[in-house]
Amino acid sequence: MKENPRPELRPVDEANIGERDLVFHYSREKRLEKASRRVRSLYEDLPRRRFGIFTSLADTKAKATLLIIIVAVCLLALFLPFLRG
């Protein structure tokens, strides 16, 4: 039988895995504790914005214009057969 070259990597039994077995390595709070004061102030001064699909589609003038053009073309494609008679 071949010896495992990396013993820390072992097969996972997915049926018997529990919450205590899960390890989350990323924590923003712990990362910011080690950061400099300037970096922490950047995160503290950020305004809290609500995320929405409309705000992400039309938050700049260029995106709003593109959205209006796409809606107009879709409406034109829907109503063009009725306008031809």
Residue 5 domain flag: no
Domain range for 24 is 14-84
For range 54-79, the mean pLDDT: 92
CB atoms within 10 A of CB 75: 10
Q: How far is CA 9 from the centre of its chain?
A: 30
CB–CB of 32/40 below 8 Å?
A: yes
Structural domain contains residue 46: yes
Which DSSP symbol is given to 8? T
Better-predicted residue by pLDDT, 72 or 55 = 72
- Quote the number of domains for the chain: 1
Its pTM stands at: 0.42
Structural domain contains residue 7: no
Judge whether 57 lies within some domain: yes
Give a yes or no: residue 68 inside a domain. yes
* Higher-confidence position of 72 and 2: 72
